[in-house]
Amino acid sequence: MRLSRYFLPVLRDVPKEAEIVSHRLMLRAGMIRQQASGLYSWLPLGYKVLMKVQKIIEEEQNRSGAVQLLMPTIQPADLWRESGRYDAYGKEMLRIEDRHEREFLYGPTNEEMITDIFRTYVKSYKDLPLNLYHVQWKFRDEVRPRFGTMRSREFLMKDAYSFDLSKEDAVKAYERMFVAYMRTYARMGLTAIPMRADTGPIGGDLSHEWIVLAETGESAVFCDNRLLDKPIPGQDTDFRGDLKPIFDDWTSLYAATEDMVDMAEYEAAVPEEHRVSARGIEVGHIFYFGTKYSEPMKATVTGPEGKEIAVHMGSYGIGPTRLVPAIIEAFHDEAGIVWPVSVAPFEAVLINLKAGDADSDAACEALYDELVAAGIDMLYDDRDQGAGAKFTTADLIGIPYQLIIGPRGLKAGEAEIKHRKTGERETLPIADAVARIKGLIEPQRKTDI
């Protein structure tokens, strides 16, 4: 992408309304624009990151055996009357009436609709287990939308729903999602800790939330610090096999959010030197809730003995539009964002320090073409601007590697690479630049963890 033809409205000043660093940086880096309280447009740079985050989520959902579909954002109120949640949900639900005075709502979640789809088509236990998911916008009329897209009213959510014949099978489905979530966060470079959680309005009796530790987080959390460097289940994990040992291993160490913590239990379970009591951001939440929806909504299958059995369900949510600021909270410095390669809007930026000069343009054009052909997601700063402005932008928007072509280096046949994360600089022959950039980036894409 040529920066001269891109749309990157960076701001020089720190926006006053933004209280936390991720919100400030998302505004300054031209990633989002607030349209009304809790409603955001995703500008090109932000949207690119959001789509990379979504793709990782989809890949790991698919790997675990979940199947993607897409449900609408607007749902009929009658479905929610069947489950009893239409009245229970309260003011967070945005209620809508159409021209025929029929009642609708903008979905805050999709348990009812997916249960309706399930009961329409699935009739036999032989079709189980089944896990269906979508990535779709949700609306919750939050009392206090804040921190940019961290807590917005309209937000993107991946929500998956599992259907099984028994509690025992449903727990296996839960374990598959648990492992898929561990892999998902790790691929984004995040350390997210699974914690025992409250089930809230979704209901049920088994639930975990994933928390990224951050001072600006909204939840107080209590955990064992040995969870922070536990190895993540690899891509060769057999999702058709028994995942209980992995689940037990992760859940054997204490971790609970403030709603669930029992201080005496915490202190008994975690030796003092391993205790972490900190703040964190909830980036995902999974639930097993049995027949809470399948019974009232009559989602049954014929079991092996010919009896009608209400299916056991779970739901599994993860918020891409919250993950983007959570990643920034974890990875930034005074100069701006420091993206992990796997979610960076561009993997490298080619900086032409003498744009407009025929030799410099020719060298940069050739390099750019080669880098793109080598599969690198490239930004090319071909703008007619001073070096200072170019470096400031590259640092602010957090591109992992800057490949710099300056007039002096060009004469000597040399380029410079700046590592955004460490500030380290290296000089190398221009002829070696493509291979070097490739060599730096490929191992960090984390497609193979």
Measured from the CB atom, is 184 or 352 closer to ligand ATP? 184
* Binding string, residues 227-266; x marks residues near Mg ion by CB under 5 A: ----------------------------------------
Chosen from ligand ATP, Mg ion, none, partner binding at 157 (C-beta under 5 to 8 Å by type): ligand ATP
Measured from the CB atom, is 98 or 198 closer to Mg ion? 198
- Residue 413 carries which side chain, given as an amino acid letter? G
Which residue sits closest to Mg ion, CB atoms considered? 285
- Is 158 one of the binding residues for Mg ion (CB under 5 A)? no
CA distances from 28 to 285, 406, 428 (A): 30, 27, 32
Pair 349, 364: CB distance under 8 Å? no
Chosen from ligand ATP, Mg ion, none, partner binding at 402 (C-beta under 5 to 8 Å by type): none
Measured from the CB atom, is 285 or 390 closer to ligand ATP? 285
Chosen from ligand ATP, Mg ion, none, partner binding at 142 (C-beta under 5 to 8 Å by type): ligand ATP
Q: Residue 177: which H helix or E strand, with range?
A: helix 167-187
- Token pair 């997916």 is found at 114
End-to-end CA distance of the chain: 28
- Residue 363 carries which side chain, given as an amino acid letter? A
Measured from the CB atom, is 42 or 287 closer to Mg ion? 287
Chosen from ligand ATP, Mg ion, none, partner binding at 322 (C-beta under 5 to 8 Å by type): ligand ATP
The CB-of-335 to ligand ATP minimum distance in angstroms stands at 27
CA distances from 3 to 72, 348, 381, 401 (A): 35, 13, 5, 16
- Is 285 one of the binding residues for Mg ion (CB under 5 A)? yes
Chosen from ligand ATP, Mg ion, none, partner binding at 154 (C-beta under 5 to 8 Å by type): none
- Token pair 């979504």 is found at 54
CA distances from 262 to 141, 272, 290 (A): 31, 15, 25
Q: Quick one: which of 190, 246, 249, 239 has its CA closest to 446?
A: 190
CA distances from 252 to 198, 212, 247, 279, 350 (A): 18, 19, 8, 21, 47
Q: Which two tokens stand for residue 171?
A: 């727990």
Q: Could you give the CA distance from residue 284 to residue 321 in angstroms, rounded to a whole number?
A: 12
Contact residues toward ligand ATP (CB under 6 A) are 109, 140, 142, 151-152, 155, 157, 200, 282-285, 317-319, 321-322
Measured from the CB atom, is 150 or 353 closer to ligand ATP? 150
Which residue sits closest to ligand ATP, CB atoms considered? 319
- Per DSSP, helices labelled H in 349-425 are 358-373, 387-397, 407-412
Chosen from ligand ATP, Mg ion, none, partner binding at 164 (C-beta under 5 to 8 Å by type): none
The CB-of-363 to ligand ATP minimum distance in angstroms stands at 44
State the residues that interact with Mg ion by CB under 5 A.
285
